[in-house]
Amino acid sequence: MHELLKRFYAGDRRALARVITLIENEMPERDEILKELYFKTGKAYIIGVTGSPGAGKSSLVDQLIKMIRSRGETVGVIAVDPTSPFTGGALLGDRIRMQEHSLDRDVFIRSMGTRGSLGGLSRTTKDVVKMIDAFGKDWVIVETVGVGQAELDIMHIADTTIVVLTPGAGDSIQAIKAGIMEIADVFAINKCDLPGADRVAAEVETMLELKGQKDGWVPPVVPVSTVTCDGLDNLLQSIVRHGDYLKQNGAFEDSRKKRSRSEALNIVNHQWQSLVRKHLNGPGYINDILLNVTEKKMDPYTAADIIMEWIISKHVTEGGIA
């Protein structure tokens, strides 16, 4: 552990990969690592990229990596693949294009499933963002496929959220329906070399006018093409402008504070749930109470009160958290 962290602090990429694996697999070292590295977090600028399958997010992230590197800055990428809640297997695994960066030691790329969180971003994803941040990367890009909760969760992680739309696919209408209009700090209208891109951009602009501003920031609508490379500079500039805006009005610091705060509270709830789960294993008092509920001898509200009091008194008599 000590040796691993020493290598981590020395900038060894394999140590970062190893730390992430320990966290993903919930190994015993996990909490200790997260505790220690927490104090190193908070410096990286975090970009979220979301949009429908086929919107060209990976190619766009690819171009962002190149532009960030040409500024002499370092970057880590987390590509979140949608995972079936049942099979546990990632369905999209095509990260091959990104491998062109694999020889660049200032680019770190990791693919992750969403397992365990039914389509949302898992706690692990958030922890991995922190590890890349603690490792010292200037930027962290989190790419999520826009099917469900993950695309809504991204705004709680990212400083700047980019929503990628494309012409043709009825994307702008989809965007309102899933509520993702509200999460965008920047709209990238990808495949702007294709017909219909102007119309999508215009539709989004109209909706933004109807909705008004988001905390004083009007999300720019940036046409881009990863084929012709049009608009890519403009996209990065929009991100940087949004970052400057957040830093100037204090929102950048604020959101970091809010994230740490809600993280601590999430851990409190998580601990509580572990405590409940501990008492559920095997036969015992709680299971007897629950049996009364399933047999309709007791309502679940009364049962919940009894269970809660029992867990708390048990916890106190057993001398608190181990």
- Of 75 and 131, CB closest to its own copies: 131
Residue 70 Cβ vs its own copies, minimum distance, rounded to whole Å: 32
* Per CB under 8 A, 210 contacts its own copies: no
Residue 97 exposure: Cα atoms within 13 Å on the Cβ side: 13
Segment lying near its own copies (by CB under 8 A), choices 67-75, 94-102, 176-184, 219-227: 176-184
Q: Which is nearer to its own copies, 70 or 281 (CB)?
A: 281
Give the pair of three-digit tokens for residue 7.
């290598």
Spacing of C-alpha 157 from chain mean position = 5
Residue-wise DSSP of 252-273: HHHHHHHHHHHHHHHHHHHHHH
Residue 226 CA to residue 247 CA, distance in Å, equals 29
Of the residues 199, 206, 271, 278, which one makes contact with its own copies according to CB under 8 A = 271
Minimum Å gap between C-beta 181 and its own copies is 8
* Residues 82, 153: Cα–Cα separation, whole Å: 13
Residue 169 near residue 193, CB atoms below 8 Å: no
> Which CB sits closer to its own copies, 9 or 38?
38
Closest distance of CB 79 from its own copies, Å: 15
**Using the rule CB under 8 A, is 28 a contact of its own copies?**
no
Sole binder of its own copies in the list 177, 195, 248, 283 (CB under 8 A): 177
Instruction: Report the alpha-carbon angle 143-145-147, nearest 5.
Output: 150
Identified binder of its own copies from the candidate list 10, 103, 210, 316, rule CB under 8 A: 316
What is the H or E stretch that residue 140 is in?
A: strand 139-145
Residue 295, exposed/middle/buried by CB under 10 A (0-12, 13-18, 19+)?
Answer: exposed
Residue 280 host element (H or E): helix 251-280
68 to 97, contacts with its own copies by CB under 8 A? 82-87, 91-92
Q: Binding string to its own copies for residues 98 to 137, with x set by CB under 8 A, is what? A: --------------------xxx-----------------
Among 5, 67, 147, 207, binds its own copies (CB under 8 A): 147
CB nearer its own copies, residue 67 or residue 176: 176
Cβ–Cβ under 8 Å, residues 109 and 102: yes
Q: Does 205 bind its own copies (CB under 8 A)?
A: no
When asked if residue 276 is in the footprint of its own copies (CB under 8 A), the reply is yes
168 in contact with its own copies (CB under 8 A): no
| 56 dihedral zone (left: phi>0; alpha: psi -120 to 50; beta) | left
Q: What is residue 239's three-state secondary structure?
A: helix
Query: Among 21, 206, 237, 260, which residue sits at the site for its own copies (rule: CB under 8 A)?
Result: 260
Distance CA 265, CA 114 (A): 22
Q: Which residues of 119-128 are buried (b: 16+ CB within 10 A; e: fewer)?
A: bbbbebbbbb
Among 5, 18, 38, 106, binds its own copies (CB under 8 A): 38
At residue 69's C-alpha, the angle toward residues 63 and 74, to 5°, is: 115
Binding site for its own copies (CB under 8 A): 31, 34-36, 38-39, 42, 53, 82-87, 91-92, 118-120, 145, 147-149, 152, 174, 176-179, 181-182, 256-257, 260-261, 263-265, 267-273, 276, 280, 289-290, 293-294, 296, 299-305, 307-309, 311-313, 315-316, 320-321
